[in-house]
Amino acid sequence: MSSPSSQASAPLPTVPQNWIVLGCGAVNEDFLAAVAAFPNPDDKIRSTSFQIQGGGNTGNALTCAARLGLKPRLISKVADDARGRGILEELEADGIDTSFLVVSKEGNSPFTYVIVDKQTKTRTCIHTPGFPPMIPDDLSESSLLSALDGVRLIYLDGRLHETALVVAQEANRRGIPILIDAERKREGLDDLFKFSDYVVCSAKFPQAWTEAPSVPSALVAMLLRLPNVKFVIVTLGEDGCIMLQRSITEGDQSEEMDIDSLLESLKQRNDSNTVIPTCVSSVVTKLRAHGIGMVSGRLFVGTAEKIPSSELVDTTGAGDAFIGAVLYAICASMQPEKMLLFAAQVAAAGCRALGARAGLPYLTDSRLAPFL
């Protein structure tokens, strides 16, 4: 995809050549149909626009990371069919190394029907998994070791959990940090969590996984259950995000605060009239969640860009774009406040085009310059 003129005029930021990230998880083909309004049962309607585009959490996040300048590698599986070949071609065109992707001679590649409702600005997805599914035996030991060579960061979306666990175990032995995308409760996710260094969640996941009474208290519960995790981020769509970062330098003089009350006070500090993303944070504090426990850390509240209705096209893949930007930010050692602003801006750019990838910005995009 050619970059917009606004991107071409911006200077190219310096990106070290050794920023290799490895992703293991879902790739598929998306059939995207935009409609004036979501149909009622037994309706017959026409689409206002239609596109066929690559999709899948890992495919989308790595595409975002590649456009930001990282060098992604991918472990996944497709079939040797027209969809599979299209998936590969699109990933390779964005600079993703697909040499570790398994191609089955038989079966079908995964695909998703996506209905984009222009009235409510929502999308509905109907997914058909690929067959045969990926199993650990599909990835030889030599391929795994080659895939991990020189890798700075691992991304796992919770799918292909048996293969992902093999990747996580070897990455852990090599001291390579791992980011987990916790979109929803999935088989094998708890096993992957044991090796995670960073977690990014969907809005509903923290409470669903911990059964805590609120999102902030659920974040405390997650850090207590996952002692190796450095931070947890929960993305909230147009309401921005919340991040809880563990403190490794806890002092005896740290103030103790109820995390729900702290969240409300931070929200009041955010300027509700600001269009661009903003972020506020607490100092290092002993954060208490009633009936759950306490951790020492910092709480961050980030806002999303307020996209004009005339510019908001499709939120498909916004969370994947956010994660792709977080992958870049971790590799670049960005401070949390800067990381959340940058990720929010990247995600907002992606919402201005149909599908998960068409609107993903390049690092040279002038819209990203203030956040780098």
pLDDT, tens digit, for every residue of 95-114?
Answer: 999 999 999 999 999 999 99
Decide if 208 contacts 184 (C-beta within 8 A).
yes
Comparing C-alpha atoms, which of 252, 240, 315 is closest to residue 278? 240
Element (H, E) at 134: none
Give Cβ neighbours of residue 108 (< 8 Å, ≥ 6 apart).
79, 81, 83, 128, 130, 131
CA distances from 361 to 1, 4, 68, 146, 290 (A): 11, 9, 7, 29, 41
Cα–Cα dist 298/123, whole Å: 34
Q: Is the pLDDT at 253 greater than 60, yes or no?
A: no
pLDDT, tens digit, for every residue of 24-42?
Answer: 999 999 999 999 999 999 9
Decide if 324 contacts 346 (C-beta within 8 A).
yes
pTM over 0.85: yes
pLDDT, tens digit, for every residue of 54-75?
Answer: 999 999 999 999 999 999 999 9
Own/partner contacts of 230-234, CB < 8 Å, gap of 24 or more, are 230/197, 230/198, 231/198, 231/199, 231/336, 232/198, 232/199, 232/200, 232/201, 232/206, 233/198, 233/199, 233/200, 233/201, 233/326, 233/340, 234/200, 234/201, 234/202, 234/203, 234/205, 234/206
Q: CA torsion sign, 216 to 219 to 223 to 229?
A: negative
Three-class DSSP category at 108: strand
Predicted confidence band at 8 (pLDDT cuts at 50, 70, 90)?
very low
Predicted confidence band at 250 (pLDDT cuts at 50, 70, 90)?
low
pLDDT at residue 118, rounded to an integer: 87
Predicted confidence band at 20 (pLDDT cuts at 50, 70, 90)?
very high
Predicted confidence band at 271 (pLDDT cuts at 50, 70, 90)?
confident
pLDDT at residue 16, rounded to an integer: 63
Q: CA torsion sign, 230 to 20 to 169 to 215?
A: positive
**Domain annotation for the chain: domains and CATH numbers:** 5-371 (3.40.1190.20)
pLDDT at residue 6, rounded to an integer: 40
Cα-to-chain-centroid distance, residue 1:
21
Cα–Cα dist 304/190, whole Å: 29
pLDDT at residue 372, rounded to an integer: 86
pLDDT, tens digit, for every residue of 165-196?
Answer: 999 999 999 999 999 999 999 999 999 999 99
Residue type (1 letter), 203: A
Neighbours of 319 (CB within 10 A): 24
Report percent pLDDT > 90 for the chain: 88
111-117 and 178-182 strand pairing: unpaired
Q: What are 244's strand-pairing partners?
A: 232, 299
Across the chain, mean pLDDT equals 92
pLDDT at residue 255, rounded to an integer: 81
Q: Is the pLDDT at 115 greater than 90, yes or no?
A: yes
pLDDT at residue 4, rounded to an integer: 39
